[in-house]
């Protein structure tokens, strides 16, 4: 494994990070053959928020997307992001759902499953690991990286040990907030590599803080095998660093060169430059380095969120106080990684604590569930006095949250009945009941042009008109 | 020298790279005290294109700007970019101009002079080195980094040797096009450090290709002492990488930490975020990594230029041919670094060669002057057959171009007469005769609001209106 591999994220995390996950399958299809010819380690193309977005906004069948992609990637493995017991949804599902989902994913063309839990609770990974194994897929165990006084090289390395013990075929370091510094990247990869000389280590960094290129470089030098990059028009900012940058930077280092062809990458960039313009309506407008992430680990998106909540109460001036309280609440709640949903839970509770003037006087349902263990185990246990404040006399659960769930597939089949045309449809329905039902109904009525598509087309036409005017 | 120093480029290269050099002194003054308190190694604040822009667009006296800045930077050294024998203009000036300029610059508050020549011809640096020494300034010799078959670690290291021999107090590696890869940064800094254990090595990279953070990290690990960064709102893309990114990344490495305070940097970023919005009219619209630089070393700006030239002739479809010819012409002309003015000379000649269908059938005045040695020595000599094609029977000069120049100061003083109120004014006039004359005239007539200022104010108001609408 002398060469470094690249996973291309353009058609999953790239547009999820920069274009609100709105890229349509029709904009992927024309370029898949080219992508397949480049020699990527894998192409991330499914999971994460794409499943939801397909059904909710694009009126696309996510399973159909997977089949269309797989048909055209003849030699490059497909890769997806699976949220452990949450699969591609936002709550814990029963084990029968997870088994069925992973089986159907493999049958429809998925090769590599990156599996994570937002709290790094490995109990929430168990079923997904087993299900992917059973279906014949590759299990990649993903560590959610974050920073806090209780997160250390040791604690993350132990997670990797546990996942490998549980049967992970490879390990991913998933740095969703862009917090992985170059020194930490080096230390962490070195430690995992030391104990597991042959395991494939893949790094997934976002460029939010500007660390990602440096983290990759140090990680690769310490023994990481694969790095996740996005072709330049879908790179940078809250997305991954640019494929071209890393390919060129590593090309001069024979031990770590990727061997990818810059000319083909140029063609791919040309293509996606056009695609990005088409979706200009979904640009977040965030540019360059988000220094807030570095100084108080709160990404710009979350700050806007907090400001929005405060503004509704005419209390925007309390932002500095809320940011401090945010850090305290995170500590109180056992230092969850800053990722959906924990970042929102912590942030909203911090706003409440400040506005009510009494900490935990009002507690959200989500805070209560987190404290009760309904999301899983927090990084460190929540202190008894905090638990008392949040839960009163109620006791937290001490087992895997999904242990309390009855099987769901049969009930769902009965509910959705004839509207579902396949097991895949039933799974879509389990994940997003209302949204999937509306989609099936729309499909049954013969489909038709749809709002988002119209918006995208209008957007593209506006751009092209502007260009013609500029050229004239 | 365990700690790494940062030069902040916000008020020179930052806005020169991102906002067409349009930042006004009034937008620097309110924040200089804060900048002075941060502990930067130096603050770049003068030279480069700022001198020209002050007079031409902002109707500001560049010397007055320097004095206003120096008054407020009580402990942080000022730094400027000086184009060798071109000073802050675009042609070679006589030695008396260079001596007078450097003397006045020191008298008005300049501490560190980064001196470069676009062709890396050290003969073009001699006078500036001597002049700065004589005036009591710090001489920083700058190597213009580029890539070509004849540019090697050896060739650059030799340049550094020569400059140190010539009296350079420090060395800068100036990577104006963002081409310095991490491996090359390591190799080059190591080599210079090996031979010169005590010389201060400063790195100046642009983030155009996405290499800069990695280049800094490897350079610092190899022994570089100072890196040039821009506070995040003026960082990234064609500017330097963000100060916050490098400060945070190095903070975890005790040997290379900068010791700068993230909270102060946050305040500085807040300030410049507002300033950048004010100048939105001057945004280039270029976003993220420019992959063209990596694959054919032609930055996006130059490609637009070539496309523009081709479009005028209805020959846009010949761009691929022109890009190939561009590389050939650069080789023909002895591999000049890709920087103003050589990049334009090479590009225009390439367009002509393609459009006329016969190489060097038509030759621009600038190509002829380059071949004649009027800009200085090219990296490698131009082959006799190419020289013949360009110059016919004319012979190139074999001495320093400025040797042919008569002293200019006295003549200029006489020409501009009463309109000049100081030696500084005469120097402005020598650099930009027509522009300076117009400025002096405007000033004599009592000044008054000026087009660019009006544009900036209107821009700021538009932004604030948009915000109010969005908030409503
Ligand atoms: Co991601
Ligand atoms: Co520069």
pLDDT tens figures, A321-355:
999 999 999 999 999 998 878 888 999 999 999 99
At B470 the pLDDT is 42
Ligand in closest contact with the CA of A229: 1
pLDDT beyond 90 at B112: yes
At A446 the pLDDT is 86
Considering CB atoms only, which of B232, B235, B252 is closest to A181?
A: B252
pLDDT tens figures, B38-61:
999 999 999 999 999 999 999 999
Ligand in closest contact with the CA of B44: 2
B222 contact residues in A (CB cutoff 8 A): none
pLDDT beyond 90 at A431: yes
Half-sphere exposure of A128 (CA within 13 A, CB side): 31
At A1 the pLDDT is 43
- B-facing residues of A in 166-185 (CB < 8 A) are 181-184
**Are the beta carbons of A214 and B242 separated by less than 8 Å?**
no
Give A113 to chain B, closest Cα distance, Å.
29
For residues B233-257, average pLDDT: 94
For residues B17-41, average pLDDT: 96
Q: A161, A156, A150: which is closest to A180 by C-alpha?
A: A156
Q: How far apart are the CA of A14 and the centre of ligand 2, in A? A: 30
Q: How far apart are the CA of B123 and the centre of ligand 1, in A? A: 52
For residues A122-132, average pLDDT: 98
Q: How far apart are the CA of A176 and the centre of ligand 1, in A? A: 5
Q: Are A163 and A125 in contact (CB under 8 A)?
A: yes
**Are the beta carbons of A262 and B209 separated by less than 8 Å?**
no
Q: Are B216 and B204 in contact (CB under 8 A)?
A: no
Token pair recorded at residue A408: 């769901």
Q: Are A70 and A29 in contact (CB under 8 A)?
A: no
pLDDT-wise least confident of A86-100, A224-238, A275-289, A389-403: A275-289
Specify the 3-state DSSP secondary structure of A60. Answer: coil
Give the A:B interface size as CB pairs under 8 Å: 126
Q: How many residues does chain B have?
A: 472
- Find which of A241, A253, A291 to mutate to test the B interface (most B CBs within 10 Å of its CB): A291
**Are the beta carbons of B291 and A217 separated by less than 8 Å?**
no
Considering CB atoms only, which of A236, A249, A294 is closest to B214?
A: A249
**Separation CA B210–CA B187 (nearest Å):** 19
**Separation CA A310–CA A319 (nearest Å):** 8
Ligand in closest contact with the CA of B207: 2
**Are the beta carbons of A295 and B237 separated by less than 8 Å?**
no
- Residue in chain A closest to B253 (alpha carbons) equals A183
Alpha-carbon dihedral sign for residues B408, B411, B413, B415: negative
Q: How far apart are the CA of A268 and the centre of ligand 1, in A? A: 21
**Separation CA B345–CA B353 (nearest Å):** 12
In terms of Cβ atoms closer than 10 Å to its own Cβ (0-12, 13-18, 19+), residue B441 is exposed
Token pair recorded at residue B265: 């940097």
Whether chain B has a CB inside 8 Å of the CB on A239: the answer is no
At B471 the pLDDT is 40
Q: How far is CA A409 from the centre of its chain?
A: 25
pLDDT beyond 60 at A129: yes
pLDDT beyond 90 at B466: no
pLDDT tens figures, B155-200:
999 999 999 999 999 999 999 999 999 999 999 999 999 999 999 9
B316 contact residues in A (CB cutoff 8 A): none
A175 contact residues in B (CB cutoff 8 A): none
Q: Are A46 and A12 in contact (CB under 8 A)?
A: yes
**Are the beta carbons of B288 and A233 separated by less than 8 Å?**
yes
At A320 the pLDDT is 87
B289 contact residues in A (CB cutoff 8 A): 232, 235-236, 241-242, 244-245
Omega of the bond prior to B341 within 30 degrees of 0, cis? yes
Ligand in closest contact with the CA of B241: 2
pLDDT-wise least confident of A115-124, A287-296, A409-418, B3-12: A287-296
pLDDT tens figures, A358-398:
999 999 999 999 999 999 999 999 999 999 999 999 999 99
Q: How far is CA A212 from the centre of its chain?
A: 16
The pTM (predicted TM-score) of the whole model is: 0.92
At A458 the pLDDT is 57
For residues B115-133, average pLDDT: 97
**Are the beta carbons of B213 and A209 separated by less than 8 Å?**
no
Give B154 to chain A, closest Cα distance, Å.
17
Give B270 to chain A, closest Cα distance, Å.
10
Q: How far apart are the CA of B203 and the centre of ligand 2, in A? A: 10
- A-facing residues of B in 413-452 (CB < 8 A) are none
Q: A280, B335, B145, A233: which is closest to A245 by C-alpha?
A: A233
B214 contact residues in A (CB cutoff 8 A): 213-214, 217, 249
At B1 the pLDDT is 43
Which 3-state string (H, E, C) describes chain B? CCCCEEEECHHHHHHHHHCCCCCCHHHCHHHHHHHHHHCCCEEEEEECCHHHHHHHHHCCCHHHHHHHHHHHCCCCCEEEEECHHHCCCCCCCCHHHHHHHHHHHHHHCCCEEEECCCCCCCHHHHHHHHHHHHHCCEEEEEEECCCCCCCCHHHHHHHHHHHHHCCCCEEEEEECCCCCCHHHHHHHHHHHHHHCCCCEEEEEECCCCCCHHHHHHHHHHCCCCEEEEECHHHCCCCCCCEHHHHHHHHHCCCCCCCCCCHHHHHHHHHHHHHHHHHCHHHCCCCCCCCHHHHHHCCCHHHHHHHHHHHHHCCCHHHHHHHHHHHHHHHHHCCCCCCCCCHHHHHHHHHHHHHHHCCCCCCCCHHHHHHHHCCCCCCCCCCCHHHHHHHHCCCCCCCCCHHHHCCCCHHHHHHHHHHHCCCHHHHHHHHHCHHHHHHHHHHHHCCCCCCHHHHHHHHHHHHHHHHHHHHHC
**DSSP codes of every residue in A330-354:** HHHTT---SSTTHHHHHHHHHHHHH
Give A401 to chain B, closest Cα distance, Å.
37
> What b/e readout covers B207-226, taking b as 16+ CB neighbours within 10 angstroms?
bbbbbbbbbbbbbbbbbbbb
- Residue in chain B closest to A263 (alpha carbons) equals B295
């Amino acid at each position: 494994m002398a060469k470094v591999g690249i996973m291309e994220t353009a058609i999953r995390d790239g547009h999820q990070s920069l274009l609100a996950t709105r890229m349509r399958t029709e904009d992927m299809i024309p370029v898949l053959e080219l992508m397949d010819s480049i020699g990527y380690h894998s192409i991330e193309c499914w999971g994460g928020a794409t499943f939801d977005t397909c059904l909710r906004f694009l009126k696309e069948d996510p399973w159909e997307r997977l089949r269309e992609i797989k048909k055209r990637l003849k030699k490059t493995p497909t890769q997806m992001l699976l949220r452990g017991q949450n699969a591609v949804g936002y709550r814990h599902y029963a084990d029968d759902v997870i088994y069925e989902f992973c089986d159907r994913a493999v049958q429809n063309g998925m090769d590599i499953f990156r599996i994570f839990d937002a709290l790094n609770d490995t109990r929430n990974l168990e079923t997904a690991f087993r299900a992917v194994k059973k279906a014949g897929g590759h299990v990649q165990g993903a560590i959610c990286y974050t920073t806090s006084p209780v997160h250390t090289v040791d604690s993350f390395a132990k997670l990797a040990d546990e996942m490998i013990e549980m049967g992970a075929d490879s390990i991913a370091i998933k740095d969703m907030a862009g917090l992985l510094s170059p020194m930490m990247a080096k230390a962490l990869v070195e430690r995992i590599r030391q104990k597991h000389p042959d395991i494939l280590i893949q790094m997934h960094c976002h460029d939010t803080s500007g660390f990602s290129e440096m983290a990759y470089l140090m990680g690769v030098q310490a023994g990481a095998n694969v790095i996740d990059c996005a072709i330049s028009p879908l790179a940078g900012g809250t997305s991954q660093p640019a494929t071209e940058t890393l390919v060129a930077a590593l090309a001069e280092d024979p031990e770590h060169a990727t061997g990818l062809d810059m000319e083909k990458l140029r063609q791919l960039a040309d293509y996606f430059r056009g695609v990005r313009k088409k979706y200009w309506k979904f640009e977040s407008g965030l540019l360059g380095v988000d220094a807030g992430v570095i100084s108080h680990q709160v990404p710009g998106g979350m700050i806007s969120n907090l400001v929005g909540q405060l503004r509704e109460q005419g209390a925007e001036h309390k932002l500095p106080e809320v940011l401090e309280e945010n850090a305290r609440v995170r500590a109180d709640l056992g230092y969850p990684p800053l990722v959906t949903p924990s970042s929102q839970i912590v942030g909203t509770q911090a706003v409440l604590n400040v506005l009510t003037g009494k900490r935990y006087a009002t507690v959200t349902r989500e805070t209560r569930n987190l404290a009760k263990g309904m999301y899983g185990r927090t990084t460190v246990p929540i202190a008894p006095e905090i638990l008392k404040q949040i839960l009163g006399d109620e006791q937290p659960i001490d087992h895997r949250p999904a242990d309390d769930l009855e099987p769901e597939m049969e009930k769902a089949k009965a509910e959705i009945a004839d509207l579902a045309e396949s097991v895949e449809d039933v799974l879509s329905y389990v994940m997003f009941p209302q949204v999937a039902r509306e989609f099936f109904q729309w499909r049954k009525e013969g489909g038709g042009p749809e709002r988002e598509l119209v918006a995208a087309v209008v957007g593209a036409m506006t751009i092209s008109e502007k260009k013609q005017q500029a050229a004239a």
